[in-house]
Every structure is written in structure tokens, then in C-alpha cells.
Structure 1
Amino acid sequence: MGLARLAALHGVATTHSPSAGVTLPVPDTTVVSVLAALDVDASTPEAVRSALTAAESAAEDRLLPATVVLWLPAPAPPVALPHGTRVRVRLEGGGTREWREPASQRQGAAKTSGATSPSAAPAGWAQLPFGVHRLDVRTADERKARATLVVAPEAVARPEGRVHGFLVQLYSLLSGRSWGMGDLGDLAELTAWAGRALGAGFVQVNPLHAAVPGAPTDPSPYRPSSRRFPDPVHLRIEDIPEYAYVTGQDRVRLDTLVEKAAGLRTSVLDKGALIDRDAVWELKLQALELVQRVALGPGRRAAYCDFLAAQGQALDDHATWCALAEVHGADWHAWPAALRDPRSAETSRARSELMDRVDFHCRLAWLTDEQLAAASSAATAAGMGVGIVHDLAIGVHPGGADAWAQQDAFAAGMSVGAPPDAFNARGQDWGLPPWRPDVLAASAYAPYRGLLRGLLRHAGALRLDHVMGLFRLWWVPSGAEPTEGTYVRYDAEAMLAVLVLEAHRAGAVVIGEDLGTVEPGVREALSRRGVLGTSVLWFERDWAGTGRPLPPESWRDGCVATATTHDLPSTAARLTGEHVALRHRLGLLTRPLELERTEDSAEVAEWLAYLTRLGLLPEGTGAEEGEIRAVYRFLLRTPARMVGVWLPDAVGDRRPQNLPGTWDQYPNWRLPVADSEGRPLTLEDLAASPRLHALMEVFRARGARG
């Protein structure tokens, strides 16, 4: 009981429920390991008793929680304080506000609680500006307390009216100007065309976070080196202003690189080669080193210096890691011991010795930021109501830049994953170190705020992968099976408040990927704060009743409605059963092929019959293009604020971009957008595609301009 009580005080679960009505205990060894990662010693009964005494004493004496959240406008103070308590708020932007908590205006309240009544909110709270402030209180009997105070609007803004747009993995969208994979120039071109010609209100892309360099580089955009800074592999080299001023022998070398890049592009588009991120980066790195030699003009130099000043220590750390990784390898755990500490004297000395490379990587971050801004401006100029939707991965690579620079914020020896459930009895280990909730709170959520602010600089909306991680994450101790993990809770109110605050400041929409197992109350809490959910056609059923497809009018309005995602079969593959055949070819089926085919065909037939009854399939069954249009007509019947078209659906692509459960068996994250025959298509091909325009007529007919 002592261990369970100690775990509860630190937000560590000692049981979990893999399915309704089933509760399983968490191994004591797991609880002890997780507590140790939070600097709580529970290794012996004596240690448990000592830690429990300290934790309970601290909880009993605590006048304030670590973080106080005030949602404005609010009818009541965010915390109940004794009458006469002196409140001092040091504002984020400078200055202070002070007042004394008044006596309760509710008769009898003082006798029953001794604290301010919820109906008696003093003006001091209501007049605070939005921000992350420091709260100090002192009671009449001289008890003192300090906390972080997050003041946020009660909800983030949602799109006005119905908005539709495209979902695409940027690397997969090559144009005739790409260097072997889609880039930020292509993104700007896509947004300009989609907004102006098709009335699209947004384009959602995969995470553009900086990857961990390697041979080969992990192609997954969801296991990055840094979530704080984008990857310069997405740069359009020719769009860098200094590119035009490369002269002499450097120009000859640069032109040769451009020719080689054309060869990479041709290999992907015409010869069936996979997207080779490493080959693209090798050429771009050489090109960028040539472009770097061109001196910045006075205006450009001033803009670069402003960027350096704005990004501060975070950028310096990131660029230092990049420079050190070029010398010592991409996993900082294998570096010389002194360099594993970003604040050591040896690291400072190495930074000075590698100053030119550190500056080079800072410059790359700036150039990438500029092109992100240009793509965002293109979306705005095209009349997009939302603009570019950027994606935030749930975590970072343990050997990467963020994990090195922010070691104190990550739980050592732990990995994020998922518990066993009805779909995966073995659970999952994603290999991503989790943030420590206690360190986040103690730092006033500085790493989290910096991350959000960086991503929202040029975003019309932000999608959070596995948004349930704001509430709790499944921690798996190093060396343990995923089944031996446990949930660790975060201060969801504080995490949400910071998210809403930063999105409000950026004028951005927030989308949470809430697919899969979601604990009760999470979707409601997200909705209350304006966060849109994610609803996928094939998963929306009346699970509590008939089990049949959920009627369109019963869908939630606060969501992005889609037919599929990057981890699921395309709509053409789903309708034709190609996804079953693919999994069979790869040996991924756990049941006989005919049984899988029979069940899949029955599900598709059920949906097509339903679409026909609703009058959404005038083309009749058997015509693939008509069936796909019917799926999107259905999505437009729902009240969803945003409707997303998986761009490969528009041209009949049958291949998933990622096939969960595979590694080298399938080319995850390396396929270009293709037609129904598997022929790669350029952005120019897409813009001229009769099939795409026929699908988009569905949106024009519904007046669904975003």
C-alpha cells in the first residue's frame, strides 16, 4: 500500500485497463523504476516509507499547486486562498500586480471554508493579461507560496464555417523542380494552387522536424532529432537569395549539383526509385556550403542577426549538437564524456573551435524559417482560411539534439509507448524519451512553450500527434517489454493552458490526433478548450449501439473529418481490398487470407450500401472513382469544421505512406504520390489531373470553400 500511495502522489499508475471491465496490476519493479526516473527512491521498504512521509508532508503543507491556471474570462479565482491573503503576480512581460484576497460575499462561506468564495472573484484576477507569470502569495499568518500562473483564453479559436483542404506528406510531393523529394518551394506552390484554383482552406503536412543524421537516416518524420527546429533538407536551394550570386568555380560546382539533383528526381519519377532522403541531403549540403560562401548583404545580415537573437540559447544548442554530430556521430551518448553535457567547459570550448560549423547550422535554420514563412504567406495570399497545418510529433530521438540539450527535462531510462490492447496484445515501445512532468512544472513549462512558439511561427494550425499525451503517457523502463510499462500523468490543465495560450497568440487552430484508446473525459476536455479532434470514416460507428456506420449528422462538429491517414490504407486500396492483399504479400496477416478478405469485403459493401441509401453514390457501385467521390460527399454531410482530402486519394494511389508493423519489409516514408497504376505524379501532373478535378467538384457543388 505504501508504494501505491507514493506512486499516486507522483502521478504514476499502479494498474491499467487494457479493455472495458479488465484491470491489470503494474509490476512493482516498473513502479520503482519509474519513480527512480522522477528522482524518488522506492528501492526498499525503508526508502518507500521515507519518500512517502516526505511527499505527504509536502502535500499537506502545500498552499498552492506547482502551476495555477486561470482561464479568462473567469467567474472565480483559480485557487481558494484564505481571506486577507496578499497576492503578487510578476508578469511575463515585466511589471507586477498586487492585491489582497477579499472576504467572502457569500453568507456563511467564511465559517465553512475560511477561503474566498467562488462567487467572489476579486478584480485582480480578472484583469490579468494573458501569459505565463509568477504567482507569490502570503497569508495573514505569514505562510508563503510560489507557483507558475498561466493565464489563457478559455478556448482557442476554431475555423469560421466549413473548411476543406489537402493532407499530404511533403517529401512525397515532387514537382519538376524538386531535388528528389518534395520541398518548401513545392509546399508554397501547392498552397497557392489549391487555395486559388480549388478553394482549399488548408494544407496539412507531416512533421518537418530536424532528422537525426545517419547512414541511412531514419526516414520517419515522427522520430526526429529536434522538434524545435525544421530540417533544412526541405529547403528549395534555388529560392535562397544568395544562390543567384554564386560565381566562378563555385558556380560550376553548383550547376553540377543541380544536374545531379535532376537525376535523382528523374529516378523517382520515371524509373521507379524510392525517395532517397540521404542522397538528396548529400547534394543539398554541398550546395548549401557553396551558397554559404556568399556574403550576406546588410539587410540580410540584420535579418539573420535578429533571428539569432530571437532564437537564443535553443538555436545555439541545436547548432552545436549538429556541429558535434559531424565530428563524433549522431548519438550523443557515444561522445566523449565531457561533451555529453551541453553546459560543460569542454562543450563550450568545442563550440568555439567549431564556430564556423555552428554558424553554418544556425544559417540553415534561418533559411528554412524564411522558406516556411514564404509558404505560409503564399497560403494567406491564396485566400486560405486556415493555411498550413503543421504536425507536432509526440517525441524525439533519444540520441538527438533536443534530448542532448534538455537532458534534465527528459526521464532517463524511460521510453514512450502504448499498453497492450485489443489491436496489439504485445503493446508498443516507440523509443522516445518522455518529458518529466515535475521538471516541466518547475521550469514554468519553458521547453514546451519554446517548442510550441517555434512551430506556430508560420502555422495556420497545429496538429498534435497522440494528443492524449497531454494527459498521460505510457512509460516503458529500459530493457522491459512494452507490457511492463505504466501510465504517468501530466498536469493536463497546465499543458492545455499553455497550448491554448500560444495558439491564441499565433492566431492558430489546434487539432488533436485522438484516434485509438482515449480515456474518458479527454475528448470532452479538449473540446472545451477549442481543440479539434480527428475523425476517420472507417472508425466512426455506433459502437455503443448497432455497430453500424455512424450517421453523418451524428458526427461531432469539432473535428477534422478524413477518409484515411498516413498510417492507413488509401481510400482506393480500402475499396478494392488491395490493403489486404498487400499485408498478405508481406506476411502480416494473423488470420487466413480468405477470412480477412471476406470480412473486409463485407465492411466495404456495408458502407457502399449506406452511401447508396443516402443518395451519395449516383454513379453506382463498381466505379472506383465514383465510390471515392461518394466517401467525400459523406464527409461533407457531417458537421465537421474541417474536411481533409488525402491528396493521394485524389488520383487513386493505392499505396500507404506508412505500414505500421513493418520496417524493411515495406518502403515506409519513401514513396512519391502516384496514380492508380503506381506511376509517380508530379505536382504539375496533379494540377492537370481530370480525376482530381472531378473529385474537387464534389466540394464546389457543396459550396465548401474554406
Structure 2
Amino acid sequence: MHLRGLLRADQPARLGGHPAGRSAPAAGRRDAVSEVVGAALARLGVDRLVCAVHDRCLPSRPDDDIGCGQPASAGADDFLAFLAEAGFNGVQLGPPGVVTPDNVSPYDGSAFARSPLHLAAGPLRDGLHGARLLPATDDAGPPVGPSNRCDYARAFRTQERRLAELHARWDALPGDDPAAARALGERLAAFRAAQGWWLEGDGLHQALAAVPGGHPEATRWADRAIAALFAGGEPDPAALAALRERHAVALERHAREQMLLLEQHALLRDRAHARGLVLQADLQVGLAHGDRWRWASLFLPGVSMGAPPSRTNPEGQPWGYPVLNPAQLGSREAPGPALAFMQRRLTKLFAEYDAVRLDHPHGLVCPWVYESGAPDPFVAVRAGARLFSAGPDAPAAIAAYDIVPAAQLARGRRDPWADDWVTGLTPAQVDRYAVLVDAMVEAAARAGQGPRALVCEVLSTMPAPLGAVLARHGLGRFRVTAKADVRRPDDVYLPASARPADWIMASTHDMPPVWRLAREWPDDVAADRADHAAARLAPDGVGREELAQAFRRSREALAAAELAVLFTSEARHVMVFVSDLLGETGVYNRPGQIHADNWTLRVPSDFRAVHAARCRAGAALDLPAALTLALASLPAAERRAARPVLDALRARATSPLPDLSPRLRDGL
């Protein structure tokens, strides 16, 4: 069986002729636990139960561990099987782009090219790409550190060696296996024809950044003409031809690697679909240095995108990302270069995934912008403005693009980053704000998906223009319950605030997992949260005090209750970050902080044993136990109707449960 490449830009990669993106995931073999969990989710009105795990965080088998996860590896497939058996029906992956040893943040990775770190050895050894491109005896050696942490230095070293071997074998194929060489060459030519619009520019940037004196940031290149090659849109043909010739070998190898990576992604997607799992992409709001160089003509000069002050980050976050130039957006009927760029990007994503998470979607609707190159970026970001509603006090270069006049702004009454800074919008104004999100909805429709295939990471703030655009398409927001102040009934993160279109979760990759938070909450906060969880799980009062006491006695029981509460809201979509599933207490990322452990937390190779042991100790998410609590929260008549499912869940739960006898007796 051979992997097949992406032959057209609007078609998904195929494995054995199966168009993964054009068919719904098959149910696959569902064991007793997953069937009971599915029945419970249906009773609770939950359509989608997704585990969020970044690609590099997937596990490896001990004999095939390079130091980070590889989505098409056997270890990653083991984890897909585990998720499906547990009852999940989706996986939220992270941005898969190219990162550097100096900056491994996936949100600073390339927008189109996939990281060579993700290229798994197994399919290359086994000939699944049409030739054996790695020796059968090749291995990464035993891991030198814990398997629940990425070792990026080792991963980069191992992949550099493997890729050198891969290209040597590919180069030798015409003499060793002419038929395989021809087949690979034909696939590579088709891949280049379909993906060339981004492939060459990305390959050139990587080649230029790798030469002596090179750097990922083109602004640091000595040759200013090359640094500005795409600043005017179309590059000088002679200069581009010279670069192609000078870096022909690097471009060839880059194209090979990207084709193989996309073919392995098709394998991952087929495996996921066979297990009844959908794959969700992550569209990061920022662009990598290579994308900024290649698409330089599309960005608004002199300004950068960041996050304004908020309850989570009161100082704001100066991301330094470029902002699409509004003058180049155009309209749906007449797309400008910037809109056309986004349309192609979205078409590519929906050809490769089933749904797309929008990272900080305000960046697509009403980005917070500030002066680039300011001496103190934190001062600059706090003095920034929302594009399209900056007001007359903003710099003219920003205010020139205002959609909303001063009369519709709460000037002098609200901070410019406040959700209600814009006091009202006309339908025509919403049309203008919605250009990019409309393009996303249309891209989803072309892939056979509805608007709900867009997963919008709206956190504590939702400016009025963003709210209007999401409402236009019936899209929801994130409800991150561990961030909620349970003493404030109007807190946007509370389960009671959730609506059917929303996504609810306990934590995210940008915060400590709930198992750590529960240990660290002060006693008064923990008591309040125990009472809140008990009220959610016993809304009619029956057995509420007994539950509250159980949650107050044990911080593990409190964390488990926080996860059970996710299934008691109106939200039809539940997302569980992998650390909350496995009972991890380490932190994956600390936003705005440089920390050696950032982006390193990973699923351990012995994840099944770890999860089982922690569930027995009540220190990991045991879905049958969590859903028992959630189903027991239903009104008495519904509890009676759900009694067979409740009994089946209790029989399969391995975590200790609080005393539910008052509620279960009441439901008889």
C-alpha cells in the first residue's frame, strides 16, 4: 500500500485512493466503554468530545522516540486508539509548522510548510511512500530523558541525520529502483504544481536562513535586495531565477520533505477516521518570519498585532505579528491580494482537516494593533487601538481604516479595548467586519462542512464587532471553566453562561491543568468551587451538601468534579486538554514568559498505564465516572430514563465516586 500525495490544491491527500476529506469518519470498532460513553453524551446533548493535543506532544514507542511526537508514528496511532476506546470523537491538533531550535513555539511556526520534525521513520522504512527511504535498522536510540517531555535538541539532531539518509536514498533510486524513482518523481511534480504557490517561497526562505550569516528574520539579512524581494508583490524575475539556480538542491529537498509530510498527514487522517475521530486544525493568528518575507506586500506597514489588556493579561501582549492590509482585502465579489491569500490558506486547511480552530479570532475581525519597533513594546501595546474602530485620536495611518465613526464609540466612557467600545453596528458595517470569517465559512462549505467546523477561541473578551460576526454564522466561543470566578454569576467562563454553539473546557494549553489548579487554589476559593460544582451536579438540591463535602475533603475529587461539570452546560462541544485527561500537573505553556519547560510537556510512552493508575487514584479524567456524575445531575424523570446508561457507566468507572445514593434513589 502506498501513500498518495496531494495532486490538486482543493483535494485532500489520499491513502490507497480513499479521499479522507470527502467522507465522514467511519464509526470503526467501538468497544463497550466507548459505546456507553457515546450513549451518555447523547443523553447530555454533547455532539463533540475532543481531546486537544499538539502534534509534537503525541507519544512515541520507546524504540522509535526521537524526542518529540510524530503524527504518523505507531505511538501516535496507539494514542488515537486510546482516545477512540475512551469515547472521544475528535482530536484538536496544534499548528504543525516549521519551528527553529531557538523558538519552538508552534504559534510562531510556518503557516504552510510542515515541520520536518514530524516526519515519522516507520512509513519511510516500510516503503509506504513507494520506496524504502530509510534503512530497516535505523532507530533513534533509547530516550535519554523522561518520555513525558520533548527533547528538541535530540529531535533536531536525529531528524537532520535521517533526512540526509533519506535524500541520499532518493538520489540513488534511478539506479536502484527506476520504477519507484519514476513514481516518486511524478508525485513530486504533481505536488509542486498544486502547492507551488507557497512551496517555493517557503523553501527559498529556509535556504537563505540556513546560509552562513543567515537568520530566520529577513530584516537581518545583509543582502537588502533579497530581503525585500517580495515587498512589492511580484519579485524581479531575474533575481528569483538566480535564487532558484543557487539553491536548487535545497529547494528539491524541501519539496520532497513537504510532499512526504503531507502524505503522512493523510495517513494520520485515515487512521483517525477509521477510529471515528475527526481531526481539527489550528489556524494560528500570527505568521512566521518566512511567511512575512514571502508575503510582505500584504501587510500594513508600521503596525503589529497584539493582545490588549485583559483580566488574564492586564499588561497586554505585544505579539509582534503582521496585520493584513485592509486596503488589500477587497470584497467577496472582488477579492484583493490579502483576501485571496487567506482564501487559499483556508482551502488548503479544509482539504487536510475536518474542522479548524481559529486562534484569537479577533485578529481576523478587529485586531488590536500598536506601533512596530517601539522602544518598549508593552507600553506600545497598551497605547494601541482596535483596527476599524480606532477613533479620531488614533494615528492617521490606523484611523484611516475605521469602519465605525466616532459617534458609535464609547469615547471617554470605556477603554478602547473594552467589549462595548463600539456601541452599535449597522448590517453594512458587519458585512465589512466579516470579510475574513465569511471567507472561512465559504471554505468550509466548499469542503462539505457547515459553519460549526470553525472553532473560535474567544476567551475573556469578545469585542462587539467580533460578537456580531460570530452571531452572523451561529458560531460560539470558549468557556474555560477553571478561569471562572464562581462568585460572579455573570462571569463569561461559567458553565451557566454557555450556549449550545459554544465549546466548554476546564483548561487550555496556555494555563496550568485543572489537577494542578485544584491543588493550588486557596482554601476559600476551593470551598467556593466545591459548592459551585455540587450545585451544578445536584441542581435540585438532592444530595448537594453530601457532594460539596466530598469535593471539599479532596482536591483530587474537586478536580474530577470540575471536569464532570463540563457535561452539565448547554454547550454541545466539550474539549479536554490532554493534561486534564491524563492527570498531569506540569504546565505546557506560560503565555508571555520565557521558560525552559514551555512547549515541552508530552504524552508519555506508557500513557495507558499512567492513566489507568491515576484513574484508580481519582487523579485523572475517568470518563465513565465523570459522566456518571453528569447524568446524575439530570432531573429525576430523565435520571430514571437514563438508568441503564448510568448503571453501565458505574460498572466501568475505575475512579472513586462520591456517594450518589440520594440522587439515584430519587431517580427511581
Residues 686 and 381 (structure 1), Cα distance of their counterparts in 2 relative to 1, 3 Å cut: farther
Greater strand share, structure number: 1
Residues 619 and 189 (structure 1), Cα distance of their counterparts in 2 relative to 1, 3 Å cut: farther
The 1-side partners of 2:218 and 2:590 are apart by 30
TM-score by length of 1: 0.65
Match of residue 478 from structure 1 = 372
The 1-side partners of 2:592 and 2:146 are apart by 25
Letter matched to residue 286 of structure 1: R
Match of residue 529 from structure 2 = 604
Moved more, 695-704 or 333-342: 695-704
- Mapping of 1:96-495 within 5 angstroms? 162-176=47-61, 177-186=64-73, 189=77, 192-194=80-82, 196-211=84-99, 213=100, 216-224=101-109, 226-240=110-124, 251=135, 255=137, 258=139, 261-263=140-142, 265-269=143-147, 274-293=149-168, 294=170, 295=173, 296-327=180-211, 328-335=214-221, 336-340=223-227, 341-342=229-230, 343-344=235-236, 345-384=238-277, 387-397=278-288, 400-441=289-330, 442-443=336-337, 445-480=339-374, 481-489=380-388, 491-495=432-436
Q: For residues 613-664 of structure 1, what are the alpha-carbon distances to aligned partners after superposition, in whole Å with 9 as ceiling and x for unaligned?
A: 4468599223444333322321111121211122212232112211124213
Residues 217 and 454 (structure 1), Cα distance of their counterparts in 2 relative to 1, 3 Å cut: farther
User: What is the CA distance between 1:405 and its match in structure 2?
Assistant: 0.7
Report the 3-state secondary structure (helix = DSSP H, G, I; strand = E; otherwise coil) of the residue aligned with 2:367.
strand
The 1-side partners of 2:613 and 2:97 are apart by 31
Residues 194 and 525 (structure 1), Cα distance of their counterparts in 2 relative to 1, 3 Å cut: farther
Q: Is 1:511 aligned with 2:511?
A: no
Letter matched to residue 210 of structure 1: V
Residues 606 and 569 (structure 1), Cα distance of their counterparts in 2 relative to 1, 3 Å cut: farther
Match of residue 473 from structure 2 = 529
The 1-side partners of 2:486 and 2:525 are apart by 18
The 2-side partners of 1:188 and 1:652 are apart by 19
Moved more, 603-612 or 469-478: 603-612
The 2-side partners of 1:476 and 1:600 are apart by 37
Letter matched to residue 51 of structure 2: F
The 1-side partners of 2:607 and 2:321 are apart by 34
Q: Is 1:566 aligned with 2:509?
A: yes
The 1-side partners of 2:269 and 2:626 are apart by 23
Report the 3-state secondary structure (helix = DSSP H, G, I; strand = E; otherwise coil) of the residue aligned with 1:575.
helix
Q: Are the equivalent residues in 2 in contact too, given 1:162–1:641 (CA < 8 A)? A: yes
The 2-side partners of 1:413 and 1:205 are apart by 33
User: What is the CA distance between 1:603 and its match in structure 2?
Assistant: 4.5
Q: Are the equivalent residues in 2 in contact too, given 1:191–1:202 (CA < 8 A)? A: no
User: What is the CA distance between 1:608 and its match in structure 2?
Assistant: 4.2
User: What is the CA distance between 1:534 and its match in structure 2?
Assistant: 1.3
User: What is the CA distance between 1:289 and its match in structure 2?
Assistant: 2.1
Q: Are the equivalent residues in 2 in contact too, given 1:510–1:532 (CA < 8 A)? A: no
Higher alpha-carbon Rg: 1
User: What is the CA distance between 1:185 and its match in structure 2?
Assistant: 2.3
Match of residue 499 from structure 1 = 440
Residues 390 and 243 (structure 1), Cα distance of their counterparts in 2 relative to 1, 3 Å cut: same
User: What is the CA distance between 1:516 and its match in structure 2?
Assistant: 2.3
Letter matched to residue 289 of structure 1: A
Residues 262 and 361 (structure 1), Cα distance of their counterparts in 2 relative to 1, 3 Å cut: same
The 2-side partners of 1:418 and 1:538 are apart by 21
Q: Are the equivalent residues in 1 in contact too, given 2:495–2:568 (CA < 8 A)? A: yes
Q: For residues 240-261 of structure 1, what are the alpha-carbon distances to aligned partners after superposition, in whole Å with 9 as ceiling and x for unaligned?
A: 26768669xx84xx856x2xx3
Q: Are the equivalent residues in 2 in contact too, given 1:192–1:379 (CA < 8 A)? A: yes
Residues 661 and 339 (structure 1), Cα distance of their counterparts in 2 relative to 1, 3 Å cut: closer
Match of residue 392 from structure 2 = none
Q: For residues 585-610 of structure 1, what are the alpha-carbon distances to aligned partners after superposition, in whole Å with 9 as ceiling and x for unaligned?
A: xxxxxxxxxxxx36644543443443
User: What is the CA distance between 1:361 and its match in structure 2?
Assistant: 0.6
Q: Are the equivalent residues in 2 in contact too, given 1:188–1:378 (CA < 8 A)? A: no
User: What is the CA distance between 1:693 and its match in structure 2?
Assistant: 8.4
Residues 651 and 515 (structure 1), Cα distance of their counterparts in 2 relative to 1, 3 Å cut: same
Q: Are the equivalent residues in 2 in contact too, given 1:476–1:484 (CA < 8 A)? A: yes
The 2-side partners of 1:297 and 1:241 are apart by 16
Match of residue 149 from structure 1 = none
Q: Are the equivalent residues in 2 in contact too, given 1:175–1:682 (CA < 8 A)? A: no
The 1-side partners of 2:548 and 2:580 are apart by 19
Runs of 5+ consecutive residues of structure 2 not aligned to the other structure:
1-9, 11-44, 174-179, 331-335, 375-379, 389-400, 402-431, 632-644, 650-668
Residues 601 and 698 (structure 1), Cα distance of their counterparts in 2 relative to 1, 3 Å cut: closer
- Mapping of 1:671-690 within 5 angstroms? 671-673=601-603, 680=604, 682-685=606-609
The number of aligned residues is 503
Report the 3-state secondary structure (helix = DSSP H, G, I; strand = E; otherwise coil) of the residue aligned with 1:184.
coil
Q: For residues 452-500 of structure 1, what are the alpha-carbon distances to aligned partners after superposition, in whole Å with 9 as ceiling and x for unaligned?
A: 1222222121001101122111112123322222221384221121100
User: What is the CA distance between 1:672 and its match in structure 2?
Assistant: 2.6
Residues 618 and 372 (structure 1), Cα distance of their counterparts in 2 relative to 1, 3 Å cut: farther
Identity %: 25
Report the 3-state secondary structure (helix = DSSP H, G, I; strand = E; otherwise coil) of the residue aligned with 1:229.
coil
Q: Are the equivalent residues in 2 in contact too, given 1:467–1:514 (CA < 8 A)? A: yes
Q: Are the equivalent residues in 1 in contact too, given 2:502–2:573 (CA < 8 A)? A: yes
Q: Are the equivalent residues in 1 in contact too, given 2:479–2:494 (CA < 8 A)? A: no
The 2-side partners of 1:693 and 1:197 are apart by 16
Letter matched to residue 338 of structure 1: A
User: What is the CA distance between 1:450 and its match in structure 2?
Assistant: 1.7
Letter matched to residue 216 of structure 2: A
The 1-side partners of 2:448 and 2:503 are apart by 18
Report the 3-state secondary structure (helix = DSSP H, G, I; strand = E; otherwise coil) of the residue aligned with 1:321.
helix
Residues 280 and 552 (structure 1), Cα distance of their counterparts in 2 relative to 1, 3 Å cut: closer
The 2-side partners of 1:689 and 1:371 are apart by 33
Report the 3-state secondary structure (helix = DSSP H, G, I; strand = E; otherwise coil) of the residue aligned with 1:670.
coil
Q: For residues 527-560 of structure 1, what are the alpha-carbon distances to aligned partners after superposition, in whole Å with 9 as ceiling and x for unaligned?
A: 43143421111345689x7457987565211011
Letter matched to residue 508 of structure 2: T
User: What is the CA distance between 1:562 and its match in structure 2?
Assistant: 0.5
TM-score by length of 2: 0.68
Report the 3-state secondary structure (helix = DSSP H, G, I; strand = E; otherwise coil) of the residue aligned with 2:479.
strand
The 2-side partners of 1:517 and 1:488 are apart by 16
Match of residue 635 from structure 1 = 566
Q: Is 1:696 aligned with 2:623?
A: yes
Runs of 5+ consecutive residues of structure 1 not aligned to the other structure:
1-92, 94-159, 581-596, 674-679
The 2-side partners of 1:460 and 1:636 are apart by 23
Residues 426 and 372 (structure 1), Cα distance of their counterparts in 2 relative to 1, 3 Å cut: same
Letter matched to residue 184 of structure 2: R
Residues 600 and 667 (structure 1), Cα distance of their counterparts in 2 relative to 1, 3 Å cut: farther
